[in-house]
Structure 1
Amino acid sequence: MSVRIYRVTGRMRIGMQWQRFSLELLATKPSEAVEKAYSELGSRHKLKRSMIRIEEVREISKDEVKRTEILQLLSMESLVKW
């Protein structure tokens, strides 16, 4: 399977408010991207899954990527076999 770039957007409950988020993640399929989003937000903000609402998961092209870390990892992909 090849690694693809996904943008996961939604809302997370911080205190008494729902805050929007958008994550760019590397994954082989959309369900893996959702799991990574739950994991990343849960560990970073100490949130349970019930406090995270995933609204959209879509594959994006390299031109749409905003995070430099993702671009750096993609450039390394040719050196490392997944």
Structure 2
Amino acid sequence: MSEVKIYRVSGEMMLSHDRFPEWRKFTVYVRAVKPEHALEKVYSDLGGRHKLKRYHIRIKEVKEVSIEEVDDLSIVRLSMLTKWVKP
């Protein structure tokens, strides 16, 4: 089984593309097995949350980072889990 890693994905997204287009920078931490999977997760999350198409998202960098560099508490807590317990 493959090891899950943490990736920092940064880039730009176009907000309010219909009225006053504006490119905003973003940085997102994602847990994934491969960089390609992290990229797909970011496209899916940003597209669903902000109603963006893929061409409204420009990815600048996908980089594997250590847990000490992550400032998203939910990603840190997920990485520290050792097992799942079903109720």
Question: With structure 2 as the length reference, what TM-score do the two structures score?
Answer: 0.88
**How much has 1:39 moved relative to structure 2?**
0.3
Kindly report which structure 2 residues correspond to 1:1-82, keeping only aligned pairs within 5 A, or say none. 1-15=2-16, 16-76=21-81, 78-80=82-84
CA RMSD in angstroms, aligned pairs only: 0.7
Structure 1: distance between partners of 2:64 and 2:40: 15
The one-letter amino acid paired with 1:31 is E
Number of aligned residue pairs: give it.
79
Identity %: 46
Structure 2: distance between partners of 1:63 and 1:75: 12
Following TM superposition, the consecutive aligned residue runs of length 4 or more in structure 1 with deviations greater than 3 angstroms are none
Gaps of 5+ in 2: none
Deviations 1:35-78 (A, max 9, x none): 000000000100000100000000000100000000110111x2
Structure 1: distance between partners of 2:67 and 2:61: 18
Question: With structure 1 as the length reference, what TM-score do the two structures score?
Answer: 0.93
Which structure has the greater CA radius of gyration?
A: 2
